[in-house]
Amino acid sequence: MAHSLQPGAQGAQEPFDFNQIFIGREQQMAEFCRLLREWKYMLAQEEADAPGTPEFPSPRNKLPGLVVLLYGRGGFGKSTLLNRYYGIAAQANEQGLGGRLTLCSPVDWEFAVEGRRTIYNPSQPSQGQALDPLAYYKDLCVQLASRLDRQPGDFRAYQQAVGEVEKVRHESGKILEEVRREQDDLGSALRGATIDIVASALSTYVPGSKGIVQNEKVKKGADTLLQLTGEQISYLYQRFQRRLGERLEEYLDPARRLGFALGRDLAHCAANYPLLIFFDTYEEVDEGDQLLRLVMAAAGPRVGWIIAGRDNLWSGVGQRERSTTPEYGYKDLVPFERGLSINFNSEDVGAFTPDNIREYFELLCQHFPCEPPLPMLAQDEITRVWDVTKGIPLTVNIAATLYSETVDINKVTEEVEGRKEIIDKMVYRYLQHTRIDESERGKLYALALLRRTDESVILARALGLTPEEAKTRYKETLSHLHRRYSFIFTEKGEPSLHQEVRHFLRLFLLERRKEPEIQAINSSLKESIETALQELEQRRAYSTLKERLLDEDWTALYLDLCEQLYWLDLTEGLRYLLPFMIVATIYNRRINREARQIGAFFANSLPMREKSRWNWATNGLIYFYSRKSSSEALALEELHRHYSQSPGRLPALLNYPQELEAALYWRLGDANRWQNEAKAVEWYEKAFEQLPQEEELKEALAEAYYDLGYKLHGEKRYNESIHFLNQAIELEPKHIHAFIVQGITYAGLQQFDKAINNFNTAIRLNPSYAIAYLGRGYLYLHVKDIEKAQQDFAIATDKGPEYVMTKWMHTFASLTNTRPGLDLAERLEQIAAINP
């Protein structure tokens, strides 16, 4: 059935706003409403005092205004909730609730910074480059003015400050030029320096100090000054001070002058009605957050700030390494009664559940303007939507958009194009910062491509550091990535990606794995893993394959190598992984679960022939077996056939063809044990010929002999049964059940003396085993030794009172040749009542 969009009020087909479908977040909206009411009430009670001299924000000098921070993972609805907050404030204005507010419509920094991203992303932050406060405040002023229906020129205090700062910078340039023209060592050293580099050096100068060149800020941000002596910098400072006087501070620290001035202008805007400012996708500009805090400090209590961004600017110290120097979070800077944080990394503000998705699509079907209405989704379709989207609100929104366009949920959840669109849009959100710095995109790709991030040498390569650079710049590089990308967090001291980011980024990279950029990253990572593996081989000097498989460090690095090979060449990755999984079944079965995770991720991308081999591996090598299915044995036979036909294709580190073959034999024995006892013995024997030292294999073969002997006994093939039971006893001399079954088998051959000897041995091995006494009692009855039979039945009854049969036989043996009486009949009835 065709579905057509319904026209809007003017007859045109208006685009549907999917953001109007809003579910959940009731608690977060209630908290905002409460905070907004309390803030308005506090302002109504306070007298409007003239603004004092602002101070730099600190735990002792807290920010005076309202601050609401929405932070956490991308795609989880921060922007939607921020716009809901804006709508709540606007509705309160319309209804006249609690006093009127001036609302600054949300600044979406993702689009606001287009064409000016370099302002907020210094190209070399690791070398001390910082944001230019003049450029930052100019852009901030323009954004605020446009959303408050003003012109930048209306911010008079700020414009005056800009003029004064630019004038001081101009004069400073003249002073620097004069010094350069002087024909001495100082003038020569300053020929490559800018006024910003000079300011960086002078801002750290303490009059009388000789240690200026030891300052880290100078080392990183003013390389051309590193050759200056303390006396030269002291002279330079005094030269600037004589000419500029009190204005020297505006040259050395223009941010304070500009930020406080812009804040005072905002305070003026809020004189009549409190002002609420909304910032969305703040992660685009949060490199300048310290500069914004100066504006907040001067704006006063009547200006509130609602900020949504990925980075956790709330917790500050101790949350994670955003910087190599301590930073205070808003939690430390905002009074408790004027602050609110919504953490989208927490479980209670996390992904949608399947029930949430059902509710979302129900609302979509109700409100989407088409005729006939969109069909409701069935429960299995809801489950498939959750599997594809992982419940991330943005991906659910994308899936809903695709569904409204196609009216076919299968095209969203099953077809490649639907999944691809979801993946591409999510990755675009995650990587939006990397459009300036391509090297950072490579670092994020590398973190996603790595199987794990707890191998420091390999991780340093992923971060683009040489071994020498890693010694000095590792923490600095990581801090920069932490600051720029909130989905990178620290786990066990090493960086990791949030689970949903890793999921979508890896799917994105899988589709593009053959692109030169991704191939180059994978090749580099593979080389670093190979180097680490070679060094481990040299240090540990392994002599056997078993030693390697039992070493957690070796298996971890080998699986790392398998994963990188998969990224580079799917067939080569499988060639390395399969033999590992085969030998792991006998030496380290647990590790195959990790191996399976690697192969499963790439399985759907494998060529058909390799996909068959992978299916054999998953059916036969994960070490679980069923008593009802023969699929494992068939899969293992296919693997055995494959390696028998191409023995030369083993990786160098696993080039142990006999052990590989023995491992397959062993595993084939396991798989056949419940299906075909004779085959199980055959495979176990082949494995034992090559691995006679393996005690576990020896035990498995003994059990297989016992199983086959027991089966043959049941088929009355007594001589064959005795042969295999002898084999079991030879391998396991204390196999009590083998002795018992063999004794019963001898009895079947009327060889009662041998049968009694077997039971004697069983009783000697376990004198408390009631069944052994019961069996020997039967044999004594056969040879007419009633007294011994009665003794054994009595012992069996004593040692196994839970066995009804021992009581029957004990009573039966007492009959001898006498005629049973009423007492005996009552006794038998009592026994029967135990287990009727």
pLDDT of res. 125:
46
The most confident of the ranges 18-32, 127-141, 292-306 is: 292-306
Residue 215: phi, psi to the nearest 5? -70, 130
User: Residue 366 — very low, low, confident or very high, per pLDDT cuts 50/70/90?
Assistant: confident
C-alpha span between 771 and 597 (Å, rounded): 47
Helix axes 592-602, 552-568, angle to 10 degrees: 10
More confident residue, 47 or 398: 398
pLDDT of res. 681:
96
Does an H or E element contain 495, and which? strand 494-497
Q: How many residues does the chain have?
A: 836
Cβ atoms of 732 and 767 closer than 8 Å: no
Q: Is the pLDDT of residue 764 over 50?
A: yes
User: Residue 594 — very low, low, confident or very high, per pLDDT cuts 50/70/90?
Assistant: very high
Contacts with 19 (C-beta within 8 Å, 6 or more apart), sequence order: 80, 83, 397
Mean per-residue pLDDT for 416-444? 75
Q: In this prediction, what percent of the chain has a pLDDT beyond 70?
A: 82
Mean per-residue pLDDT for 429-447? 76
Mean per-residue pLDDT for 664-684? 92
User: Residue 223 — very low, low, confident or very high, per pLDDT cuts 50/70/90?
Assistant: very low
More confident residue, 401 or 483: 401
Cβ atoms of 809 and 803 closer than 8 Å: no
Q: Is the pLDDT of residue 635 over 70?
A: yes
User: Residue 11 — very low, low, confident or very high, per pLDDT cuts 50/70/90?
Assistant: very low
Q: Is the pLDDT of residue 190 over 50?
A: yes
C-alpha span between 535 and 395 (Å, rounded): 44
Q: In this prediction, what percent of the chain has a pLDDT beyond 90?
A: 41
- The percent of the chain in helix, strand and coil, each rounded to the nearest 5, is 65, 5, 30
Q: What is the DSSP letter of 337?
A: G
C-alpha span between 72 and 89 (Å, rounded): 23
Mean per-residue pLDDT for 580-608? 93
Reference 687, options 708, 722, 661; nearest CA is 661
The most confident of the ranges 53-57, 163-167, 682-686, 802-806 is: 682-686
